[in-house]
Amino acid sequence: MASSPETTSPALPPGVKKTAPAPPPSGLHGIVAIPMITAAKQFTRSLWRPSTIVYPYERLEDPSFRGRVAVASGRPIGVGEVWDNYRGVHALNITTCISCNLCAFSCPDTCIEMVSVPTEGGKTKRCPQIDYGKCSFCGFCSDACPEGCLTMTTNYTLTTSRRPEMVYSPQRMYSIYHSKLPMNPIRLERPENEDCILLDQDLCIGCNACARDCPTQCITMIDIPKPEPAPGQKLPKRIWKEPSVNDADCVRCGTCISVCPKECLYWGARP
Amino acid sequence: MSATLYDVAYWISSHLLGALGGLPASSLPGAWGVGATALAWLITAAVVFAASLVNILVLIWWERKLLGRFMDRRGAMHVGFAGLLQNLADGLKLFRKQVFSPREADPLGYYLAPTAYLITSIVLLGFLPVSAGFVAGAVPLSLLLALAIFSFAPLFIFVGSWSSNNKYSLIGGMRTAAQMVAYEIPLLLSVVSVVILSGSFDLGTIVQDQARDGWYGAPLILGLIVFSVAILAEIERIPFDLPEAEAELVEGWNTEYGGILFAMTMMTDYIRSLVGSYLVVLLFLGGWTLPTWGGLGILSSFPLSGILWFQVKTYIVFGVFVWVRAALPRVRTDQLLQIGWRRMLPLSLLNIAIAAGWVLAGWPHLTWPSV
Amino acid sequence: MSEMWINMGPQHPMTHGLWNLRVKIDGEVIVDADPEMGFLHRGIEKICEYRLYNEVVTLMDRCCYVAGMSWEHLYMMAAEQALGVEVPERAEYLRVMSAELQRLGSHLMWFAAFVQDLGLMTPFLYGMRDRDLVLDLFQAYTGARMTYEYMRVGGVRNDVPVGFTDRARRVMDWLDQKIGEYEDLCDKSDIFVARTQNIGVLSASDCVNLGVTGPMLRAAGLPRDLRRDRPYSVYPELDFLIPTHEGADVYGRYRVRMEEMRQSIRIVRQTLDYLDRHPGRVLAERVPRFVGAPAPVPGKETYVLRRGYPKGRGFAAIEEPHGEATAYVVNEGAENPYRVKFRSPVMVNISAAKSYLVGYRVSDIPAIMGSVDICVGESDR
Amino acid sequence: MRPKDVVPEMQRTFPDSVLEASDRQGILARVRIEPRAILPICRWLRDVAGFCHCSLVAGIDWVETREVLYHLWSDEMKVYLELFAILPSDDPHIDSVGEVWRGALWHERETWDLVGIRFDHHPDLRRLFMPEGYQYHPLLKSLELHEPEELEVKARHV
């Protein structure tokens, strides 16, 4: 009756494995030798170096610590170059940020706010400011960043005793960028046939708002011919210009859609 | 070499008081004599208490370190050398906490139970000999007294659990009562076998007999196992820690205790563990003596070597208890009682028969009857 | 002692989460049980209705915190069906590998918690130690240890890094060896077998009527496993067995889960072989724009939506580590799902608590409820 | 019974109660039924058609109406069947299927709690997730997510 765990009973459908039934009680409740020997084996294995890591003194992400750690359970997988994939505190390169708002748009927790930061030449620029009290480190923002300026580092020590310190200003993330921590190198693959910006020509008034606010300057206003009004028909009051999107440069941030006063731009499949 | 700790303390206090009053230390009159006795008691109690506290700190450290290695981790390691003072820090933290009691609890029983539990356990250390002549108070029949006091605990546990007015505490207290009653009998019966071989109820004599005749753990291996299992149940350690089964009963009978009261119960648990290990060593493993075959006598020739080896043996026995804890799950209530009544009790009776057989065979000078 | 009710929870060592098991006991014997849920209800289904399709992933990881990948997989399959998105094959293999790694992680976590309920601390730490290796693997290719946010509508976020498959194979070898060690510590111990045998019995017919699924059902002898019975993703191309047991008791559930871990290791090895041989895309080429950023500008939803995306309903069912989990996504052509509904196996398994608790002892409650493998984040959502 | 026979057989047995049936990807069929006939149909589905397992009971709020969904699973045919009924929004109620599949009881409690569909003859129709005394049904579209509100939560156990 005792079926070994390897046999498959003919009554069972294919692909089903019957596990071994419970061993009958041995009659002596004192038979505990095998578990005790198993525990003793582990005892001898962990005498020299247990599998735990003395955390504040040894850190897996510490480059100088890498290569040294080998514990009883083998080398932890996180040790080595793959630790670089870790999604920790963000680093922001202010100089390459194009203020496209994509990070703030893509944040599921709405923890990113675009704030003004001064740049060289007395100008200001809008860069993301992250509230780590809300952030869930999902990485959608760094996936969305078209310029690769908002990345995630391996730093995860955010502990603070005051709530305002959880808000990281762009300058603070810029200093993290300069600290040369390993950056998360993963880039999201973009779909090849991404939607592009389309124009409803009947509604456009040629106001130049989209071209003015486009962070990549990929929108140019081109002249369109002023049509001859049909008899009895009045031409619409507008500037006879129309935006043209350079699709190769467009990062699909949607700024033009949001600034358009006439709601004439929209997402659509590439014609 | 037979001066007890109390004798030493009395000698010190009587000379101290005699010097103060200008009286002869050997015959202090009236109230002076009573004072000297009281002072001697105080000194004795303080020494025993301090020794037991130090022992417990080291014992808990030893358990934590051992368990850590069994579990592939490190155990306490930051406070003091290798974490030796971690338990002191934990204890200080508990002592500093607010003492509170549930509103519906019965204050008398609630506060009395841990106190009495602690006191009765520390008293045990007062007359257990730790080496030849090293004993706080010499008591004839010390083995009987030790076992009698050892079995006080369920009463106080039950009082505490009842007074806590908590359902978990109550179930834990009931379990304690059932468990202790079930394991008291195998415990005593396995001790009987030792008494049969030794012929004495005095722990010092039993150890000296073992030094002469060989450790009783060898002829009474069954008794050693039964006694150890029963002691495991008495000191409520895994696999018999049902009164504190934290998975279902939160913290068992001391669920409602916090701060210093919890520290007291915790401390008492370890004092009882220490006493249990002492008893195993004293009764079955030769106490403070070591074999003297060949050149081994040199190991026990230096001063205070008895205390050293006694402690070493005790800690090894406790290490085995820890090993059991690391490897075995907790048994169930009915299984616990079943093991107690249906396995341990017959085994202990069999053990008595074995002991009687050894005596009939002429222990310790075996003269097998020629049939 | 007369009968009395005990509240085991919401803060109790046995519950493994925030829920309350009210049991009525007579001495040590249970005579009635009434589980109460809702202490961890976060309204995930409601929040989903306010999120883009991709952003729901962050909720899925928090839905079941020990089986986040399985729930991501479940939701993504339903959402892809609702949106009509095709997934590349390599992404499917990555998803199956993730789901099976997650099953390993979840079962190791279960094992750790279960033996700890029985009073056995040592395998608890072994289980957690070895689960950490699985989490290391997750971290290596998703960047997080528990909240992965790895899957996207139409595939997965990224491919595995260079050298990952070799590391994963080493971890699988290690786990294969360690599962034997767990069995040495548990199966070979009389006390363990005595603690788990013949308690918490729930027969197969009762399981079916009560809706109980997963290892509990398979331990009762009914080999229902959606990976085989209703194959999804690339499971039909993989070779694995469905473990069953006849005891219908706690020991049977333990055996089934141990064997499932072995089968998961087999599956992961097969997927790793595939990943080595077949490079390719991991994210679909045709993905609707609105599943990701940017969000609609307030007041301009109509223009963002002018395309008239297709409507649809998506339904997916997977064999989660805890049992049968289904997701139902209603897409009404907006960029947020109209309604998302999840079936949590744990909720149903807990709802049957009275059937497998009554008649056993208070000491059995941790063992029985531990064998159910409770994850409250999933059941309360 | 073969999977393709289920829906025709259902329509033949309950000509008045099975209103429409459509194919669904991944599901055997999506069958709309008359709410009054839920119990006989479910009994028939369990006893004759072999749908032994009630996987899910869910509700969807379509503002004017409410939809209640049942997902059933058959171990012999290995398919899911989706039953649904449209209930009026002002008084949505339907018979409980708890006596057919006991596993549906908690799903019905959840549906009552979150979508506000009342299940008649349910033995224990308490709220499941929300506290007793909570006056909303959270998954209704009328409850906006960002609405700050004062909740008066009664203690569950007194």
What CA–CA distance (Å, rounded) separates B340 from B338? 5
Q: Judge: B332–C115 Cβ closer than 8 Å, yes or no.
A: no
Decide if C54 contacts C291 (C-beta within 8 A). yes
Question: Is A107 inside a domain boundary?
Answer: yes
Residue C5 lies in a domain: no
Rama region for D89: left / alpha / beta (φ>0; ψ in -120 to 50; rest): alpha
Q: Show the tokens assigned to C32.
A: 């009635």
Q: Which of A13-17, C80-84, C157-161, D149-153 has the lowest mean pLDDT?
A: D149-153
Residue with the bigger pLDDT between A246 and B313: it is B313
Chain D nearest CA to C210, separation (Å): 4
* β-bridge partners, D58: D69
User: Is the link from the previous residue into C10 a cis peptide, with omega within 30 of 0?
Assistant: yes
Query: Is A16 contained in some domain?
Result: no
Give all strands (DSSP E) within A43-178, no chain letters: 90-92, 112-118, 124-131, 150-152, 167-168
pLDDT per residue as tens digits for the range C2-61 = 788 888 878 888 887 788 888 888 878 889 888 888 888 888 888 888 887 888 888 888
Diameter over CA atoms, chain C: 71
Is the domain of A245 the same as that of A173?
A: no
Beta carbons of A36 and B328 less than 8 Å apart: yes
The CA distance from B186 to the nearest CA of chain A, in Å, is: 15
Q: What share of chain C is helix, strand, coil (3-state, %, to 5)?
A: 50, 15, 35
Q: Choose from A27-41, B28-42, B69-83 the range with maximum mean pLDDT.
A: B69-83
Q: Does C181 have pLDDT greater than 80?
A: yes
- Tell whether the model's pLDDT for residue A169 goes beyond 70: yes
CB pair distance less than 8 Å for D101 and C211? yes
The two structure tokens encoding residue C322: 């805890």
Residue C40 falls within a domain, yes or no?
no
Q: Across the interface, do B73 and C366 touch by the CB < 8 Å criterion?
A: no
Are A265 and C303 in contact (CB < 8 Å)? yes
pLDDT band at residue C302 using 50, 70 and 90 as cut-offs: very low
d(CA B306, CA B299): 10
Split at pLDDT 50, 70, 90, the class of C295 is: very low
**Of the listed ranges A198-202, B26-30, B86-90, B124-128, the one predicted with least confidence:** B26-30
* Per-residue pLDDT, A4: 41
Tokens of D22: 């459509």
Whether residue C297 is contained in a domain is answered as: yes
Residues of C in contact with A187 (CB under 8 A): 158
Contacts of C36 in chain D (CB under 8 A): 156
Q: Do the Cβ atoms of C49 and C336 come closer than 8 Å?
A: yes
User: Quick check: is C24 in a domain?
Assistant: no
CATH code (residue A213): 3.30.70.20
Residue D157 pLDDT level (bands cut at 50, 70, 90):
very low
From the number of C-beta atoms within 10 Å of its C-beta (0-12, 13-18, 19+), residue A2 rates as exposed
DSSP string, C347-376: HHHHHTHHHHHTTSBTTHHHHHHHHH---H
Q: What are the pLDDT digits (tens) for B299-335? A: 767 777 778 888 888 999 999 999 888 888 888 888 8
pLDDT in tens, C311-352: 788 888 888 888 889 998 888 877 778 888 998 898 888 888
How many C-beta neighbours within 10 Å does residue C91 have?
26
Give A-chain residues touching C157 at CB under 8 angstroms: 139, 143, 186, 188
A54: in domain: no
Question: CA–CA separation, B86 vs A251, rounded Å?
Answer: 58
Q: Is the pLDDT of residue B124 over 70?
A: yes
- What local confidence, expressed as pLDDT, does residue C294 receive? 46
**Chain B residue with minimal CA distance to C121?**
B326
Paired strand residues for A129: A113
Kindly state whether residue C18 falls inside one of the protein's structural domains.
no
- Candidates B70, B229, B248, B334: best to mutate against C (most CBs of C within 10 A) is B248
Backbone angles phi, psi at C30, to 5 degrees: -85, 130
φ/ψ of residue C363, rounded to 5? -65, -20
Residue C230 binned pLDDT confidence (cut-offs 50, 70, 90):
confident
Residue C237 within any structural domain of the chain: yes
Q: How many domains does chain C have?
A: 1
The distance of D52 to chain C (nearest Cα, Å) reads: 7
Name the residue facing D130 among C38, C330, C338 (closest C-beta): C38
Q: How far apart are CA B13 and CA B25, in angstroms?
A: 9
Select the more confidently predicted residue: D127 or B4: D127
Give residue A82's pLDDT: 55
C191 touching B, CB under 8 A? Answer: yes
Cα Rg of chain C, angstroms: 21
Q: Is B71 on the interface with C (CB under 8 A)?
A: yes
Q: Do chains B and C touch (3 or more CB pairs under 8 A)?
A: yes
C-alpha angle B268/B273/B277, rounded to 5°?
145
End-to-end CA distance of chain D: 52
Q: What residues of chain C lie within 8 A of the CB of B247, using their CB? A: 13-14, 116-119, 366
- How far does D90 lie from chain C, in Å, by closest CA? 20
Asked if residue C26 is part of any domain, the answer here is: no
Calpha distance D99→D111 (Å, rounded): 17
D73, D127, D153: best mutation site toward chain C, by most C Cβ within 10 Å? D73
Complex ipTM value: 0.81
Closest CA to B151 of B124, B133, B115: B124
**Residue C197 confidence (pLDDT):** 83
Residue type present at position B122: I
* pLDDT given for residue B1 in this prediction: 42
Share of chain C above pLDDT 70, in %: 93
Contact call for D103 and C43, based on CB within 8 A: no
pLDDT of D153 > 70? The answer is no
Residue C14 lies in a domain: no
* A168 lies in the same domain as A222: no
Check residue A196 and give its pLDDT: 74
CB contact at 8 A, B83 and B67: no
Helix (H) or strand (E) holding D20: strand D18-24
Residue C239's domain spans which residues? 49-380
Instruction: Summarize pLDDT for A112-160 with one digit per residue, the tens.
Output: 888 888 887 778 888 888 888 888 888 888 877 777 788 888 778 888 8
| Residue B37: count of CB within 10 angstroms of its CB | 16
User: Tokens at residue D45, please?
Assistant: 């589905």
Identify the CATH number of the domain in which residue A125 sits: 3.30.70.3270
User: Domains, chain D, ranges and CATH?
Assistant: 3-120 (3.30.460.80)
Asked if C214 and C324 count as a contact pair (C-beta separation under 8 A), the reply is yes
Better-predicted residue by pLDDT, A66 or C370: C370
Instruction: Give one word for C43, left, alpha or beta, with left for phi > 0 and alpha for psi -120 to 50.
Output: left
**Residue B245 contacts C where some CB pair is shorter than 8 Å:** yes
How many Cβ atoms are within 10 Å of A148's Cβ, its own excluded?
12
Q: Is residue A21 part of a domain?
A: no
Strand order in the sheet with C20-26: C4-8, C20-26, C29-36
Provide the pairing of β-strand D79-88 with D27-33. Answer: parallel
Residue C6 forms contact with D (CB below 8 Å): no
Q: Quote the CA–CA distance of D15 and D12 in Å, as a whole number.
A: 6
Specify the number of domains making up chain A: 2
The domain in which residue A148 lies consists of: 86-178
- Span A10-20, average pLDDT: 63
pLDDT above 90 covers a percentage of chain C that reads 3
**For B167, which of C6, C189, C363 is closest by C-beta distance?**
C6
pLDDT at C286: 67
φ and ψ at residue C299, rounded to 5 degrees = 90, -10
* Closest residue in C to A72 (Cα–Cα): C129
Tell if the CB–CB gap between A39 and C185 is shorter than 8 Å: yes
Segment D66-76 shows an average pLDDT of: 88
Q: Looking at the complex, does the CB of residue B339 fall below 8 Å from at least one CB of chain C?
A: no
Average of per-residue pLDDT values in chain B: 82
Q: Please list every residue in chain A whose beta carbon sits closer than 8 Å to the beta carbon of residue B68.
A: 50
Does a structural domain hold residue A217?
yes
pLDDT (mean) for D111-123:
88
Mean pLDDT of B43-60: 85
With respect to residue A257, please indicate whether it lies within any of the assigned structural domains: yes
Q: pLDDT class for A6, splitting at 50, 70, 90?
A: very low
Chain D positions touching C41 (Cβ under 8 A) are: 129-130
d(CA C243, CA C261): 10
Whole-angstrom Cα distance, residue B317 to residue B297? 22
Instruction: Reply yes or no on whether the pLDDT at C288 is more than 80.
Output: no
Searching chain D, which residue's CA lies closest to the CA of residue C212? Answer: D103
> What CATH number does residue C240 fall under?
1.10.645.10
Q: Which residue of C has its CA nearest to A46?
A: C126
In C, minimum Cα distance to B328 occurs at: C120
User: Considering only alpha carbons, which residue of chain A is nearest residue B331?
Assistant: A29
Relative to beta strand D118-120, strand D93-95 is: parallel
What is the pLDDT at residue B75?
Answer: 82
Question: Which residue of chain C comes nearest to D140, CA vs CA?
Answer: C46
Residues C121, B67: C-beta atoms closer than 8 Å: yes
- Which residues on D lie below 8 Å from C348 (Cβ)? 103, 106-107
C6 three-class SS = strand
- Under 8 Å between Cβ of B117 and B268: yes
Tell me the C-alpha distance between C343 and C349, whole Å.
Answer: 11
